[in-house]
Structure 1
Amino acid sequence: MLTVAFPAQAFDTNCYVLAPGPGEECVVVDPGIGVEETLREVLASHRLRPAAVLLTHGHVDHVWSVTPVCGADTAAYIHADDRYRLANPLSETNPGLVAMLEQQFGRAATWTEPSKIVEIRDRARLTLAGLDFDVLHAPGHTQGSVMFGVAQVPEAVGGQVDVDRTMLSGDVLFAGSIGRTDLPGGDHAAMQRSLRDVVLPLADTTLVLPGHGPATTMAHERGTNPYLQHLPA
């Protein structure tokens, strides 16, 4: 599986591009702040055509560029419980943060939601760009936080790491940490349930591509991540 990852210009939010191979359709995951130019370069370099945009949740640092990336024809996929955030994610963003972004990018922050939005639900299977994605609802960071699983691994790690499946974990699980729950829509108890019931059952051979920070594996996180080792029964 062709997999390209690069950080957004703010908050180091990881944007991912996945495709069966060069010259194919692709899926873009979490196009955050200021990713458009780099994304265009990635698509051109590998001759890729976006078939869909997957959103792990509706926070502004993960969806900022979704509308220009989708254009008029490409659909954005988001869990039904976070669908409301796409009406205007700036409305729930701290005004000081909005002002900082406006200063950084030199223009007023405006928002238009994508013209095509598909609401997804837990355990759905999405066949997009020749890849099958399993949706795992894992609320806690937001009400509609999800992880996307795919039964392939990036070419760069194939055969080098003991993994046989990939999980795009958004802000549910990071290397050595988890997503915060003190923002609007966050729920500590829900996060604990998601970690216990959704994350811990993942196989050790799962490669984890998080919303921020480096890639990891479930084997590593199960053995070292303090937020997984001290879960309530």
Structure 2
Amino acid sequence: MLIAGFPAGAFQTNCYAVAPAAGEECVIVDPGQDAVEGIEEMLREHRLKPVAVLLTHGHLDHVWSVAPVCGARDIPAWIHPDDRHLLSDPSAGLSPGSASMFGGLTFSEPDEVRELSDGATLELAGMELVVDHTPGHTRGSVSFRLPDEDIMFAGDLLFAGSIGRTDLPGGDYPTILRSLAAKCLPLPDDTVVLPGHGPQTTIGRERATNPYLKEAAPHAGPTRGI
């Protein structure tokens, strides 16, 4: 398994290329701000041919470069339907103050957009990726898992020591806690978490140290009896 990545743009959003090996087909995950050049460098270095772009959610810092990347390679973008509107109107996912900063920019959907669903298995580039709908950061947030490798692309669901913010349109704190409880806590401790921002971590490390993941854990039930 080959996973290469770099932090893109001012938001330092992690963009990944995922392939069975060097010289093979790959998928691109979350091409953020000014990511085109970095993606091209990754593809050249590892001799990769992208077949799809996968989006963990529709926030601007994760989808900024999706249209040019897909257009240059004639490949589809995959996104959950609840976040699809953000591809053409990313300001709908921002606070009013932040939206005004990007008022002069225009964005559009790639020519081909395919929609993700919870529990789906995508067979792309010789790999199987499982889709988990993980709302809370946005309504259409998802994570992607490589179950055979115990690897999770978490987007802005889970970070090392923290979780995604819930104060933007479509965010909801109780909902993200439910997503963490349903989609993260059941995973093995050695599952590698590749987040949308910051360093990689593991489910075991976060289970032991992340206060938000502890809050998401179910409370202990009654203890009477044997």
TM-score w.r.t. the length of structure 2 is 0.90
Tell me the C-alpha RMSD between the 2 structures: 1.7
1:57-82: per-residue Cα shift (whole Å, max 9, x none)? 00000000000011162110011211
Corresponding residue number in structure 1 for 2:146: 150
Tell me, yes or no, if structure 1 residue 223 matches structure 2 residue 219.
no
What residue is the counterpart of 1:208 in the other structure? 193
Distance in 1 (CA, whole Å) between partners of 2:139 and 2:162 is 19
Task: Name the % identity.
Answer: 57
Residue 182 of structure 1 is matched in structure 2 by 167
**Pairs aligned (count):** 217
SS at match of 1:201: coil
Quick check: 1:88–1:113 contact (8 Å CA) kept in 2? no
Distance 1:38 1:123 in 2: 31
Letter in 1 for 2:153: L
CA contact (8 A) 1:2 1:21 kept: yes
In the alignment, is the contact (CA less than 8 A) between 1:53 and 1:74 conserved in 2? yes
Tell me which residue corresponds to 1:80. Answer: 81
User: What is the CA–CA distance in structure 2 between the aligned matches of 1:133 and 1:93, rounded to whole Å?
Assistant: 29
Secondary structure of 1:82's aligned partner = helix
Q: Which residue of 1 aligns with 2:224?
A: none
Correspondent of 2:158 among 173, 185, 196: 173
Which residue does 2:33 correspond to in 1? 33
Structure 1: gaps of 5 or more residues: 103-107, 153-163
Mapping 1:5-16, distance limit 5 Å: 5-16=5-16
| 1:158-208 deviation digits (Å, cap 9, x = unpaired) | xxxxxx410000000000000011100001111111111111111112000
Mapped partners of 2:106, 2:32: distance in 1: 14
**Aligned partner of residue 22 in structure 1, secondary structure:** coil
> What code does the residue aligned with 1:147 have?
S
Q: Which amino acid aligns with 1:175?
A: A
Corresponding residue for 1:156?
Answer: none
CA distance in 2: counterparts of 1:91 and 1:184, whole angstroms: 7
CA contact (8 A) 1:90 1:111 kept: no
| Cα gap change, 1:109 to 1:87, in 2 (>3 Å) | closer
8 Å Cα contact 2:19/2:125 also seen in 1: yes
Please, which of 98, 105, 110 is the counterpart of residue 109 of structure 1?
105
Decide whether the 8 Å contact of 2:93 with 2:168 is kept in 1.
Answer: no
Letter in 1 for 2:17: V
- Give, in whole Å, the separation in 1 of the partners of 2:8 and 2:210: 25
SS at match of 2:130: strand
